[in-house]
Chains A and B, each alone.
Chain A
Amino acid sequence: MSAAPVDWRTRLRWLLTRYGIDTAHGWRMGIASLLLRQPNGTPPWRHWLARHFPHIRFDQPHPGDLLRIPLQLLWLALVRPARPAPVLRRGSRWYDPARWPAWLRPRLALPALAHGPAQAAMAQYGNRASTWITRFADLSLWQRAPVRYLVWGIAGVLALLCVTTPLDTVSQLVFATLIFALVFVIQSIQGPLATLLLISLSIVVSSRYLWWRFSTTLNWDQPLDWLWGLLLLGAELHTWLILVFGYVQTAWPLQRPAVSLPQDTSLWPAVDIFIPTYNEPLDLVRKTILAAREIDYPADRLNIYVLDDGRREEYRLFAGSVGVHYLTRPDNRHAKAGNLNHALAHSHGEFVAIFDCDHIPTRSFLQTSMGWFLRDRKLALVQTPHHFYSADPFERNLGTFRVVPNEGELFYGLIQDGNDFWNAAFFCGSCAVLRREPLLEVGGVAVETVTEDAHTALRLHRAGYRSAYIKIPQAAGLATETLSAHIGQRIRWSRGMAQIFRFDNPFFGKGLSWGQRICYGNAMMHFFGGIPRLVFLTSPLAFLLFHSYIIYAPPVMVLAYALLHMGVGSMTNSHIQGRYRYSFWGELYETVLSWYIVRPTAAALFNPRGSAFNVTAKGGLVEHEFFDLTISTPFLSLIALNGIGLAAGIARSVFGPPEEIATVWLNMGWTFYNLLILGGAIFVASEARQLRISHRVRMELPAILHLPDGRLVRCTTEDVSMGGAALLPATGTAIRTGDTVAVSLWRGTEEYVFPARVIATSATRLRLHWQLTGTQQESALVQCTFSRADAWIDWTRGRPADRPLFNLFGFVSSGVSGYRRLGIHLLSRFDSLGIRHAGSLQRISWWLPRQPLPPLNTDHETSIA
């Protein structure tokens, strides 16, 4: 295509017109128009300027701009501009990749790589390997005992060789690389066999590490080094024990299905439901009582007992009005355990179901849990998961509710299911059914310890009875509200476990299989993790501050051994626990608790009959955001120590002898990691607000909105609580705040209508406040919402399996946020000082370059390009 030649003046005019300079009235007027008046519409270059210099006001120039503009130009030249961020996922928080600064992304793209073609090929290879392994395992050869023992023997000898053979640095590095490659391949294989393989590998390399540590890295010549080293080795031994016991516990989750009761309901045994309470508000307990009344079970064989240790009149009246039994006792001896025992003496059902007063059972609870009792006469206990519909303080403060699995999900999702394989599922105090006869045979609920539940189960197991765990959430309750309450609860558990360890040690005594001993033992050992954790948090300081070689080995060797041990361990755990626990987040839970459980466990170990315990407080409010300084003091001191260590490390790497520099850096890396965990702990300690007494639970249920004019609109609930609900109507309504409406919800096929008042409206959502009239409606509401049989089944739907690198980023960013919050709180604490500092911070940030804003639309972008 040929174009007529264009004279350069015309070209220039076009160009100027494009940039908003009108030349139609002559050059001078054109330049004047640029200076004196706003051209029609904002010219594109202004958009460009505004986007790329978001902090600079070109209409109000400032002398500082002389520095700010070059700084920003430098920034623009060096840093990739942000792409428009995609719409955020629901419930996403700061760790959402969509909200990462764009310039960080390329460096953190590793997890995405793992899902490329290489991964697909790996999966295919894994599948083939899996078939091959299965075929090998199916050989009839293995059925012969001598062959089996022979193979065990050979494997044992090989493992022993593998653990004890000393290698030089290069060989150990090669060994580590090969093991990692092997683990990486096995990890992509599904099924229990791959899990067992990973477990064996992990145990072998971890044992090798310990062996190496013990045999070559203790410096016996220096008493201080030796002492520090031994302390660390002790901590590592504890970790190793927990690791190995944990593998035994979770190697083969039983995944026991529910068994149905016989068709003939006259064969169903009588059940007493106990709801012990002490100081909880009636509003909290009402739901539980009302839901228990409506459990699907023959009415003549279901008795409900409210066990009120608070001896409160309103409880007695309420129990009378809804037709449930009300029991009190003259004293409060042995707290909950004593309360339950007192009720055992005043009731007579063949079975006893126990619910903490805030655990709302679903209507299907008994039909799900009772079946196994009729099938197995020696079965004494059926436990179901404790499900929490509110966020625990970790989840609330970290913003991870329903996104990252919490502490309980590992226990009820995997550990109890694994225990069940060894016939060692234990009683957790609530949401469980016990057979009365064996319970009375072991002397009722155990009163010697403050964790009466686990202790009772241990006694039942010792007496030869069996337990079962059914992993179907059939009741839901409130998580602890504040961090201090959470810690208080864990202190009680750790005290109780230490007491059992003293009174009734599961490793000794008769009646237990070795599997049961390991499962119980691990539950107790877990709570002894406080001291080892503190040792890990302070160990690198021994070198950085006191120049004590606690691991007496060259740093490369340390890495070659320790990284293998930790890496294979965490990859194996990620393989086993992926759905129930995300890598690194668990560290946070354990670190926060470590300090607080040290003293109670130690005290209970040495003086098991010591002081009383506190009841876990629930249903409270956190009215203001606050920073729990009492709780975080130990972490602040640890941070200070590690900070000093880091400073010493920097000093040493500058002034110290050059041959030590690698060791310094290794220890500084370790300190840095510790500082991150501690930052996360600080983050947890700054409490976010919690203002609702009835928790709104996200629940998508079909509903009908009854408008005042008699029209009915189809809708879905967004969230529901006993106080109100949010509705998403299928169409816009002319409803105004304050209108009275009604909402239909269903219990099975039965429809119930609940009156409500509108408290807020938006284009797509109505917020309602229930206006219930009487207990009957309240009961119906519980049945339509919290006690539906499927209420908690798909709670974790859509949650991906563990992605370690992704979780590492979330973990790191929570650590960093911890320090940010700490800074804010400290500044606001020293008020006048704070304002001055905040001002200077602002002054500094005024000079800093910014990320350019995303373009308004692509037209401008292309016209610039």
Chain B
Amino acid sequence: MNVISITGASGGAGATMLAAHLAVSIGQQGHRTLAFDFSPFNTLRLHFGMDWNVTDGLAPQLLAGKPWNEAAWRSPDGIDFMPYGTLEHDSARQQFEALFDPPRAARWFSDCLATLDIPDDAWIINDVPFPFTPLRAQIVAASTIRVAVLAPDAMSSSNAGRIADSLRPDTNASLRFVLNGYDASRDLDHDVRYLLRAQLGNALAPVVVHRDESLREALASKQTVFDYAPSSQAASDLTRLAFWLTAAPQSATA
């Protein structure tokens, strides 16, 4: 089983978007995929067409003391995903995160995965935002591929080293960086990419995800860009990115 965690280097870098599209694209390659949303904004589900008013999800389910796996959904396209769920108050969120405060449930995620009856070549894709709570740290620790999503701005390039440190406390996993929102007509984007390539080497994806309006429009119509605009550049970028990530899971390291 392959486990990917996807973390945005800054807010709005596009981690949730990437998680949703990787799930679809890897699924299209013929693998079984399951996407988890660990972000309280609970927006992963929107890419899969889930109704905004439905509040179900992992957090409410666990808080209600029900089995976690009953919170999973399947999109009309056959993608399995686990929404975070809508929590009305901050206190509920804290209550949910507190479920995983050490030493409680320290291996909860691994145990969950162990109970799944899925083939070995299945992919688990997790949207794991900063900051790393105990739950999120546990997800990242269980991931064999850890992806950081960078925006083409100064913050990304100055932060890339720090992100690398926080994403890789051990050496069992490979670390990858993806540049999202790239616009080749802006000089800064060229420069940031150049710097990142020098800094990160092979860990930086050779494919950038372009700043393509199709992506925003796709989300607005609650679709992935593969359905909304299959011949867009973003669809092509994301497909190739999925191939790059799945082709040789252990080869590239920072």
Residues 194-215 of B, flagged 1 when their CB comes within 8 A of A and 0 if not, give: 0000000000001000111110
CA gap between A729 and B206 in the complex, in Å: 23
- Any chain A CB within 8 A of the CB of B234? yes
Please, what's the 1-or-0 string for A702-734, where 1 marks a CB less than 8 Å from any CB in chain B?
001011011111100000000000000111000
When the two chains form their complex, are residues B214 and A750 in contact, meaning their CB atoms are under 8 A apart?
no
Which chain B residue shows the least CB distance to A709? B213
Q: How far is the CB of A821 from chain B (nearest CB, A)?
A: 45
Q: Is the CB of A730 within 8 A of B184?
A: no
Contact B214 A711 (CB under 8 A): yes
CB of A577 within 8 Å of the partner chain: no
When distances are taken between beta carbons in the complex, the residues of chain B under 8 Å from A729 are: 231
Contact between A714 and B231, CB atoms less than 8 A apart:
yes
Instruction: Please indicate the chain A residues that have their CB under 8 angstroms from the CB of B231 in the complex.
Output: 713-714, 729-731
**Do A753 and B185 touch (CB < 8 A)?**
yes
Is A742 in the interface zone, CB < 8 Å from B? yes
Q: Does chain B have a CB within 8 A of A858?
A: no
Q: A704-B210, A749-B206, A750-B190 are in contact. Are A713 and B233 (CB under 8 A)?
A: yes
Interface string of A727-752 (1 = CB under 8 A from B): 00111000000000010100001111
Min Cβ gap B234→A in Å is: 7
Taking the complex as formed, is B229 at the interface, i.e. its CB lies under 8 A from any CB of chain A? yes
Most A-side CB within 10 Å, residue of B212, B229, B233 = B233
Number of A-B contacts (CB under 8 A): 43
Complex CA distance for A712 and B231, rounded to whole angstroms: 9
**A712/B233 in contact, CB under 8 A:** yes
CB distance from A770 to the nearest CB of B (A): 14
Contact with A along B215-251 (1 / 0, CB 8 A): 0010000000000011111111000000000000000
Distance, CA A145 to CA B235, complexed state (A): 70
> Closest Cβ of chain A: how far from B194's Cβ, in Å?
9
Q: A751 to B233, alpha carbons, bound, how many Å?
A: 13
Q: Which residue of B lies closest to A702 (CB)?
A: B236
Partner of A713, one of B182, B206, B232: B232
A709, B211: Cα distance in complex, Å: 12
Query: With A and B bound together, what is the CA distance between A86 and B183 in angstroms?
Result: 45
Q: Is the CB of A752 within 8 A of B210?
A: no
Per the bound structure, the CA–CA distance linking A730 and B234 in Å amounts to 13
In the complex, what residue of chain B is closest to A742 when comparing beta carbons?
Answer: B185
Mask of A581-619 contacts with B, CB within 8 angstroms, 1/0: 000000000000000000000000000000000000000
Q: What chain A residues lie within 8 Å of B206 (beta carbons)?
A: 749
**Bound-complex Cα distance A712 to B184 (A):** 12
Name the residue on B nearest A715 (C-beta): B231
CB distance from A707 to the nearest CB of B (A): 8
Is A710 a contact of B233 with CB atoms below 8 Å? no
Contact with A along B133-171 (1 / 0, CB 8 A): 000000000000000000000000000000000000000
**For B211, what are the chain A residues with a Cβ–Cβ distance below 8 Å?**
710
Q: CA–CA, A730 to B214, complex, Å?
A: 14
Chain B residues contacting A742 (CB-CB under 8 Å) are: 185
Q: How far is the CA of A858 from the CA of B217 in the complex (A)?
A: 48
Q: Is the pair A710, B213 in contact by a Cβ cutoff of 8 Å?
A: yes
User: Do residues A711 and B185 form an inter-chain contact, with CB atoms below 8 A?
Assistant: no
Q: Considering the chains assembled together, what is the distance between the CA atoms of A742 and B211 in angstroms?
A: 14
A731-B231, A749-B206 known; A711+B212 contact, CB < 8 A: yes
* CB-defined contacts of B212 to chain A, threshold 8 Å: 710-712
B: interface residue count bin: 10 to 19
CA A46 to CA B184, docked complex, whole Å: 62
Q: Can you name the residue of chain A whose Cβ is closest to the Cβ of B216?
A: A710
Q: Which residues of B contact A714 (CB under 8 A)?
A: 231-233, 235-236
B184 cross-chain contacts in A, Cβ below 8 A? 744, 751-753
Q: List the A side residues contacting B182 at CB < 8 Å.
A: 751
Contact between A704 and B185 (Cβ–Cβ < 8 Å)?
no
Chain A: minimal CB distance from B32 (Å): 28
B76 to chain A, nearest CB (A): 22
Determine the residue in chain B with the shortest Cβ distance to A730.
B231
Alpha-carbon distance A428/B143, docked complex (angstroms): 61
Within 8 A of B (CB), among A325-381: none
Q: How far is the CA of A712 from the CA of B234 in the complex (A)?
A: 7
Which residues of A sit under 8 angstroms from B230, Cβ to Cβ? 731
Query: Once the chains are docked, how many angstroms separate the CA of A670 from the CA of B224?
Result: 72
Contact in complex: B229, A711 (CB < 8 Å): yes
Q: How far is the CA of A688 from the CA of B232 in the complex (A)?
A: 40
Q: Which B residues between 32 and 78 are near A, CB-CB below 8 angstroms?
A: none
Contacts of A707 in B (CB 8 A): 213
In chain A, positions 735-787 with a C-beta closer than 8 Å to chain B are: 742, 744, 749-753
**Which residues on the A side are within 8 Å of B190 (C-beta)?**
750
> How many angstroms between the C-alpha atoms of A537 and B72 in the bound complex?
87
Chain B residues whose CB sits within 8 angstroms of the CB of A750 once the complex forms = 190
Contacts of A730 in B (CB 8 A): 231
- Residue of B at shortest CB range from A745? B184
B219 to chain A, nearest CB (A): 14
A457 CA to B185 CA, complexed, in Å: 47
Q: Is the CB of A711 within 8 A of B236?
A: no
Cα of A729 to Cα of B229 in the assembled complex, Å: 13
A704 to B182, CA, bound (A): 13
Contacts of B236 in A (CB 8 A): 714
Contact present for B210 and A711 (CB under 8 Å): no
B189 shortest CB reach to chain A, Å: 9
- Which residues of the other chain, A, contact B217 by a CB distance below 8 angstroms? 711
Given contacts A704-B210, A749-B206, A750-B190, is CB(A712)–CB(B232) below 8 Å?
A: yes
Residues of A contacting B214 in the complex (Cβ-Cβ under 8 angstroms): 711-712
Q: What is the CB-to-nearest-CB distance from A2 to chain B, in angstroms, rounded to a whole number?
A: 57
User: A704 contacts which chain B residues (CB < 8 A)?
Assistant: 210, 233
List the B residue with the shortest CB-CB distance to A751.
Answer: B184
CA distance A453 to B106 in the complex (A): 80
**Chain A residues whose CB sits within 8 angstroms of the CB of B233 once the complex forms:** 704, 712-714
Distance A751 CA – B179 CA, assembled complex (angstroms): 14
The CA of A70 and the CA of B92, in the complex, are separated in Å by 98
Docked-complex contact B185 and A712, CB < 8 angstroms: no
Distance in Å from the Cβ of B184 to the closest Cβ of chain A? 4
Residues of A with C-beta under 8 A to B232: 711-714
Interface residues of A (CB under 8 A from B): 704, 706-707, 709-714, 729-731, 742, 744, 749-753
8 A-B pairs with CB atoms under 8 Å apart are A707-B213, A710-B212, A710-B213, A712-B214, A712-B233, A714-B233, A749-B206, A752-B184
- A-B residue pairs, 10 tightest by C-beta: A710-B213, A730-B231, A712-B233, A731-B231, A753-B185, A751-B184, A712-B212, A711-B213, A753-B184, A711-B214
Q: Which chain B residues have a beta carbon within 8 Å of chain A's beta carbons?
A: 182, 184-185, 190, 206, 210-214, 217, 229-236
Other A-B pairs beyond A712-B210, A713-B232, A714-B233, 12, CB < 8 Å: A710-B211, A710-B212, A711-B214, A711-B229, A713-B233, A714-B231, A714-B236, A731-B229, A731-B230, A749-B206, A751-B182, A752-B184
